[in-house]
């Protein structure tokens, strides 16, 4: 009788063992995620410290340049830590109306592909260094299903508006064009599109929106210049 009773409990024991294994796996994933977030936090703190130093140095250089050459502008990039390659275009005359229609059609195709999908995308994360001057323009990307992760902005940069995109290797050409055009259409004065420093590592799936002060004198992107550069990539 005792042996039969033990045998009858075996299914219960198996189920409990499986549940215990699932619990252990879940805990391990949580620990790994917390560790990854802590690494990101430490990296951001180190980056912000370097940025403060660069801004302070840039301001002193600007003052010196104004004294020596009033017509010379010395510029430093907020994204100098996160930027390895810059794409800056001089807009040329084009059929702006037809180019705008091209992007509108691209966005319509994008929205059609997402029909019925109400979940925010996880394959592309937008890291937004929020600026007061932007208003809610950047947040309109949520209407296209993008998840926006707000990042802390140093006080030295809060007076600027966003004018730059920094992207990773895994971001598709179509996603980059959709994001860039939506920002332009929303009123963002986009002047620089660059690869981030970690474009082939942990920022490969990220699109960062912030300020590049080296591009403040660049002509803003239009539908024409954006299409001219990116449609053949």
Q: For residue 71, name the pLDDT band (cuts at 50, 70, 90).
A: very low
Considering the domain architecture, whether residues 101 and 207 belong to the same structural domain is answered as yes
Same domain for 111 and 203, yes or no, is: yes
C-alpha distances in angstroms, 86 versus 77, 83, 104, 181, 199? 11, 7, 26, 18, 13
Please check whether residues 107 and 3 belong to one and the same domain: no
Domain of 219 in residue numbering reads as 75-230
119 shares its domain with 161: yes
Question: Residue 50: which pLDDT band, with cuts at 50, 70 and 90?
Answer: low
Encode pLDDT of 77-90 as tens digits. Answer: 444 334 333 334 33
Do 119 and 177 have their domain in common? yes
In this structure, the answer to whether residues 88 and 169 fall within a common structural domain is: yes
Mean pLDDT computed over every residue of the chain? 76
- The answer to whether residues 80 and 92 belong to one domain is yes
- Backbone phi, then psi, for 12, in 5-degree steps? -65, -40
Question: What span, in angstroms and rounded, lies between the C-alpha atoms of 86 and 189?
Answer: 16
């Amino acid at each position: 009788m005792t042996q039969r009773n033990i045998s009858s409990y075996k299914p219960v024991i198996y189920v409990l063992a499986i549940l215990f294994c699932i619990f252990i796996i879940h805990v391990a994933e949580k620990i790994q995620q917390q560790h990854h977030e802590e690494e990101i936090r430490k990296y951001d703190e180190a980056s912000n410290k370097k940025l403060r130093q660069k801004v302070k140095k840039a301001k002193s250089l600007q003052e010196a340049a104004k004294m020596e050459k009033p017509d010379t502008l010395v510029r430093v990039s907020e994204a100098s830590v996160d930027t390895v390659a810059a794409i800056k275009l001089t807009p040329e005359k084009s059929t702006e109306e037809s180019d705008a229609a091209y992007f509108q059609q691209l966005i319509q195709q994008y929205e059609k592909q997402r029909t019925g999908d109400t979940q925010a995308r996880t394959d592309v994360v937008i890291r937004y260094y929020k600026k007061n001057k932007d208003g809610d323009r950047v947040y309109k990307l949520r209407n296209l299903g993008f998840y926006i992760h707000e990042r802390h902005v140093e006080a030295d940069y809060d007076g600027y508006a966003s004018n730059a995109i920094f992207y990773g290797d895994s971001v598709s050409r179509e996603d980059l064009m959709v994001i860039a055009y939506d920002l332009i259409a929303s009123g963002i004065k986009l002047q620089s599109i660059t690869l981030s420093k970690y474009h082939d590592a942990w920022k490969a799936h990220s699109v960062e929106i912030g300020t590049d002060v080296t591009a403040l004198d660049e002509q803003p992107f239009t539908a024409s210049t954006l299409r001219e550069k990116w449609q053949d990539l």
